[in-house]
Structures are given as structure tokens and as C-alpha cells.
Structure 1
Amino acid sequence: MRPYLRLARLDRPIGTWLLLFPCWWSLALAATAPGYQFGSPYTPWYMPLLFAVGAIVMRGAGCTLNDMADRDFDRKVARTATRPLASGELSMRQAIAFLALQLLLGFLVILQFNNFTILLATASLLLVVFYPFMKRITYWPQAWLGLTFNWGALVGWAAVRGDLSLAPLLLYIGGLAWTLGYDTIYAHQDKEDDALVGVKSTALRLGHKTRNWLILFYSICSLCFALSGWLLALPWPFWLGIVSMVIHFSWQILRLDIDDPHNCLYLFKSNRTIGWIFLAGIAATSLASG
């Protein structure tokens, strides 16, 4: 089972966290916003667990699809040469079967939600399918990743409310900017190898201007998240979470060394802390209100 677990990146859970947090943020926002009543038929107690399972399965499916598309590139890059498909540890036929299994499990999770959420979640597959090819045609594949990884910001709200509104849309846009920031940091680990094999990224596009762009990305993220809470008239704990998040973003920007892969990986992983900070701020609003 180990090659399959590695193909799904279960040995590297940070990606699952970054996919899951927008879902949980949106769930929490929808449950905290005015008009929500606990016990709604749309919000069973196990809904956060469903999103967790869905994030694990769909992140694994995305990684499997990505490795299927990139196996020839991965063989030429030191960090990815030992991946199961690149190294020949698994065949394409095995990867296709594993992908089908993961998609089936993901579909079973989606079926637990209301009809609007099922349609909305299914639409994200278009983003998932095309993401592996973006790095071949644009220096901004991180933007496509942001569109994909933050789709849960829409799905979480829809699962609770059965609709969409401006608040989750702002959360989605903010999440896109957040992903542009953290995945640009991540991409600096591979920029030399990417340039050699012809793969594009924001790390190559932005280069030594990365720090200034991170200020922009993280500012947009913080502003959109703040506006989503302002629209819902959330109390002071939410704003304490926003301030704490801005402090953490500032720390990332100050600590960044784009020429140190270990530093880039460390700062990239620290975005899990951002996820918990913002989630805690939203969750604490219910205590302040109650």
C-alpha cells in the first residue's frame, strides 16, 4: 500500500489541511451568520467530518492525476524523481485504477449533501482536471491552484445554507490570494529545476520581487476575509483572528529567503497555522454571541 499512499501524498498532509481549511471556514461562517438555526436539515453534526474525508480523498485524487500528467517532468527533478509513477514503482494502469477509486469515494461523500451542493462540488472537477497542465502554458499555475483549492469556501456555505452569497464569494477570492502567496513560496524550492525542464511558476515569474507580491497577495486575502465578516456583522473575536492572521502573514514575509529551500518549505507549512487562527476567530464569535 505504501506506493499508493505516497501517490495520494498521505505522507505529506499539509496539502490536505490547505484544501480543508476553506471548507471549514465556510461551514463556520455559515453557521455563525444571522439566520442560522442549529439543527437545520442541511447541517448534521458530522458535516465537518465529511469535509475532512472529502479533502483527504480529493487531494489524493488531484495528486494522482498530477503525477500521471507530470511523470516525465518528475523524473528530471531531484525532489520528485522518487515519486511512485516517476520511479516506475507504480504503472499508469495502477494509477488509473487508484484514481477511479478515490473519485468514487469522493462522489459518495458529495452525495451526503443537498442537491445544490452536489452540483457545485461536482463542478470543481473541471478545475482539478486542467490544473496539471497549467504549468505548461502559464507562469501563473498558482492562480489556477487557488481557484481549485479554495472551492470549498463556496461548497461549505452551500452545504449549510443551500445557496451562495457575497460572504462566501469574498472568502473564495481571499483564499485564492492566500494560495497565490503560499504556493509561490513553495515553488521557490524547485525554481532551478523548473527552469531547466521548461515548467513555469510564479516563483520564476516574480523572482526577487516575490516579497512585494506576497504583501499584495496577503493584503488582498486579509481584506477579503475581513469584508466577509463585516458583511455578517461578526463580533470582536472574529477581528482578533484577522489581526492575528495579519501578524502571521507579516512574519512569513519578513522571514522569507527565496534562495533557501528549507526556509521556503518551513514557511509554506506554517500556513496551517493561518488556517487554525482564522477558524478559531470564526468559531469564537459564536461564544461571544451566545
Structure 2
Amino acid sequence: MSEVAPALRASTSPAPQPPARSRLAAYLDLIRWNRPAGWLLLLWPSLSALWFASNGWPGWHLLAVFVLGTILMRSAGCCVNDVADRDFDRHVKRTAQRPVTSGEVSVREALAVGAVLTLAAFGLVLTTNLATILWSFAALAVTLIYPYAKRFVSVPQAVLGVAFSFGIPMAFAAVQGEVPAQAWLLLVGNLFWVLAYDTEYAMVDRDDDLKIGMKTSAITFGRFDVVAVMLSYAIYLGVWISIGAKHSLGIWFYLGISAALAQAIWHWRLIRGRTREGCFRAFRLNHWVGFAVFAGVVAGFAWR
């Protein structure tokens, strides 16, 4: 009996808990470090605009500023977004374990990390010119506004489109010291690409968003969601084709555009059934659409 009692006590004692993650691991999860697709979606249009603004190779300095700045600001945006959405995210299976929502990272910590990243990005902007510095404040304002747009705007993806496209006017400002009409046309075109892929993303969470009262383009477009996505792809590619033609980029540019178009058609096949898996896969692979356009722009200028 004396031998059984310890065994019984051992079997009924609480199971040992896994050790808590390090703060660094939690912060890296907060900024989605293991999911680079997010910052790639911002990077390709910004670099494409940099090539257009420079009429070709922009130089190593601006290339480094925009690559590093994009990564830093996307990471900072994740911090702000997770703080703003923490009460909504706990009701969505896909986001319930985000560090702020789960309590692993406090609101104060998340905002502090976001502030440090923003200051680092601003330090990069300070190495450019006055026009870029001034436009960076507008870019920051849109980044801060977007997480709250989902409460009031029927198509908050349009606000995200502005935020995710602001690297375009900043690229022109950094090269030319001003933002011409061409830059704003590219921004509008890129906004429609963001609307396309973020609607695909919203289609994944539509049922959960309806329950918690979140506003998204997938809900607003309703049964026309797939049509809206494909129309947005068409406008996006059409705008970039018009700018490429103005610069006489030639066959290599159009091959890049064709690769992007082929992917958009494939995405239609993925999302037409409106399954969570298909819609999420289409969203997750969208950075390859942007890369195809960027590759076409670079090749077009190189062999013009």
C-alpha cells in the first residue's frame, strides 16, 4: 500500500508546464519575423517605383534604405495592429494565439517595440532628403489609422492599400525631390492589388468577422467578392502596364506582367470555391505577383 500511494499521488499531480518562451522569441512572433510574405508585399511595389523614379538602377544607398525601411515599418505596423485588434483577435481561431492577444506580450511592450522599430526606420529616412522626410510623416499617420478603420469603413482594405502603397510616392520623393502625377497613378494601381489580396485574406475569416461585427471587403462585396478580386487584379496590372509603356520598357517588362497575370488567373481558381484553404493560399502567395512585376520592371530597364 505504501508503494501504491506515491504512484497514485504522482499520477494525479499536475503535468509539468513547458518553459515560457524567451522575450526575443515572443517579440519576433509579434513582428511576424517567420512570415516574410508580409513585408515582401510592401517591398516589390516600392522597389518598382524606385526603378521608375530613377529611370533604372537607383544606387545602393536608396536600395538599402527602402529594403530595410520596409521591413522595419511593416514590423512596427504589426505591433500597432495587434494592440488595436487584441479584443477581436481572441474570437478568431487563426489569430487567437498572437502574443498580445494571448497575454504573452503586454500592450506596453508591443507599443514600445513598435516605437523602437519606427525610430530605426526614421533614422534611415533621415539619410535621404527633406521631401522624403516630410512624406514619411504622412506614411506613419496612415499606418496608425488603418487598424482602426476596420471598425468604421466598409472596405478597410482600401485604407490598407494606401498604407501599403506609400513607399511609391516616397521612392519618387527620394530620387526626384518631388512626387509627380506618375507616382500617384502607380499608388492607385497598387491600391487595387492590395484590395485584391487582402480581400482574399478577408474571405478566410469572413464567418468569424461576421460574428464579431468586423467590417471587411469580403463582407461588403458579398457574393461579388471573387469578381471584385479579379477586377482589382485587372486594374492593378493595367495601370502598371500603362506606366511601363510610357517608359518604353519592351518585351522583358511584358513577360513579367504576363507572369503576374498567369498567377492572378491561378488565384481565381483557388478562390472561386471560397474555401478557407484556397483563399489563404492565394493570399499567402501574392508576393510572387509583385515580384513578377518588379522583375519585369528591372529587366525592362536593363534591356531597354
TM-score normalised by the chain length of structure 1 = 0.92
Residues 1:12 and 2:24 are matched in the alignment: no
CA distance in 1: counterparts of 2:171 and 2:92, whole angstroms = 36
Unaligned 5+ segments in structure 1 are: none
CA distance in 1: counterparts of 2:89 and 2:196, whole angstroms = 23
CA distance in 2: counterparts of 1:8 and 1:184, whole angstroms = 22
Alignment of 1:155-166 (within 5 A): 155-166=170-181
Q: CA deviation at 1:120?
A: 1.3
CA distance in 2: counterparts of 1:248 and 1:283, whole angstroms = 19
Tell me how many residue pairs correspond in the alignment. Answer: 281
Q: 1:32 to 1:44 in 2, by over 3 A?
A: closer
CA contact (8 A) 1:167 1:231 kept: no
Which of 19, 37, 54 is matched with 1:31 structurally? 54
Q: CA deviation at 1:215?
A: 2.3
Highest RCO, 1 vs 2 (Cα 8 Å, sep ≥ 6): 1
SS of 1:23's equivalent? helix
CA distance in 2: counterparts of 1:71 and 1:192, whole angstroms = 18
SS of 1:6's equivalent? helix
The farther-off stretch of 80-89 and 161-170 is 161-170
CA distance in 2: counterparts of 1:247 and 1:84, whole angstroms = 37
CA distance in 2: counterparts of 1:277 and 1:142, whole angstroms = 22
Aligned to 1:144: 159
CA contact (8 A) 2:45 2:294 kept: no
Counterpart code for 1:11? N
Aligned to 1:204: 219
Aligned to 1:282: 297
Alignment of 1:110-121 (within 5 A): 110-121=125-136
Counterpart code for 2:189? G
Q: CA deviation at 1:16?
A: 0.5
Aligned to 1:127: 142
Unaligned 5+ segments in structure 2 are: 1-23
CA distance in 2: counterparts of 1:223 and 1:249, whole angstroms = 13
SS of 1:85's equivalent? helix
CA distance in 1: counterparts of 2:95 and 2:273, whole angstroms = 19
Which of 166, 183, 197 is matched with 2:198 structurally? 183
Residues 1:267 and 2:282 are matched in the alignment: yes
For the aligned residue pairs, the C-alpha RMSD in angstroms reads 1.5
CA contact (8 A) 1:147 1:176 kept: yes
Q: CA deviation at 1:258?
A: 5.1
CA distance in 2: counterparts of 1:270 and 1:129, whole angstroms = 26
Residues 105-163 of structure 1: CA distance to partner in whole angstroms, max 9, x if unpaired?
Answer: 11111111111111112211111111011111122010000010011111112212222
Percent of matched pairs sharing the same residue: 37
CA contact (8 A) 1:32 1:285 kept: no
Counterpart code for 1:60? S
Runs of 4+ in 1 over 3 A off after TM superposition: none
SS of 2:27's equivalent? helix
Which of 67, 70, 85 is matched with 1:52 structurally? 67
Q: CA deviation at 1:49?
A: 2.1
Counterpart code for 1:168? A
Q: CA deviation at 1:73?
A: 0.9
CA distance in 2: counterparts of 1:254 and 1:90, whole angstroms = 39
CA distance in 1: counterparts of 2:179 and 2:84, whole angstroms = 33
Q: 1:255 to 1:99 in 2, by over 3 A?
A: closer
CA contact (8 A) 1:142 1:201 kept: yes
CA distance in 2: counterparts of 1:103 and 1:57, whole angstroms = 7
CA contact (8 A) 1:166 1:228 kept: no
Alignment of 1:235-254 (within 5 A): 235-254=250-269
Residues 1:153 and 2:168 are matched in the alignment: yes
SS of 2:99's equivalent? coil
CA contact (8 A) 1:238 1:284 kept: yes
Q: CA deviation at 1:284?
A: 0.9
TM-score normalised by the chain length of structure 2 = 0.88
Aligned to 2:11: none
